[in-house]
Structure 1
Amino acid sequence: MIDIQNMKLAECEALSRWIDPRYGFLSPDKFIPALEGNREVYKVDCHVLEGYGQDAEFLREKEKEIFPISFNISRTDLEACNIYQKIEDTVARYGLSRDQVHIEITESALNDSSQAIVEAVQHFHDLGYQVWMDDFGSGYFP
């Protein structure tokens, strides 16, 4: 994201992309549903956050600015593992602050388990994280 007041980079979003040697670029809609169906997408989500931690560590060593990041988690992450602890462990391992890590949950998650999502958002808030709605207004929510 760009801060329009000074036209400088203010924040980044970490996204999952797959470049397959045989099939080329695969967009998330080609592989995320299969991972969600097998309750394995949390591994990708945790890997994305781990990558940010590694990048932040590298930038810190080079005395460069570290921008906050937003990254997606799936509703199945809440059921497949203790996603709260996995995020907390990664944040601690890389010396990040919670205000540097923003969690995005897709609007479509509200259709399937809205009470669980509300509770998850509250838990993340209690831990000190911002939670954003991803894909808001894209037609999932009435």
Structure 2
Amino acid sequence: MLKRAFIIGLWLTSALAQAQERYAFQDSIRFLLEKTKTVDAMATASGFTMAWNNMSPEHQRLVRHHAETMKLKKFRVQPGLVDYYGALVSAIAIENADGATLTSYLTTAGQVLNKETTGQAMEFFRQSRLFFTHHVLFDSKAFVLRPANDR
């Protein structure tokens, strides 16, 4: 009887410990984006874990700092956070940005977050995502502006 009580107590302790486990940063971002249930956000969420694992610890620190800043400024998930994380995913997965390029982008993003309004920062992230995804500066039905000699 004592053995059975010990096993049940051990099982309950391990079950409660697992329930209280905190999620990693990339998992919490993935859950946040997936809650919107939009195709765009869900695609970004699925790519973010891969992008996160390809970032250096310094880049990860900057992204965490940006996330805190965006939370304080009350950015909306859609489109603000989706565009920010989508730009990161596209920079790493599509553009194959090296460490220096990613550092430069994250530094600029930090300056935009600190100095610009929320609306201007959201526009910056939207344009960044457009650039990293399609390698264009402007895209409409009638006109596409592509950078020349950027590499």
Same fold (TM over 0.5): no
TM-score w.r.t. the length of structure 2 is 0.23
Q: Relative to total residues, which structure has the larger helix share, 1 or 2? A: 2
**Structure 1-normalised TM-score?**
0.25
Please say which structure displays the higher CA radius of gyration: 2
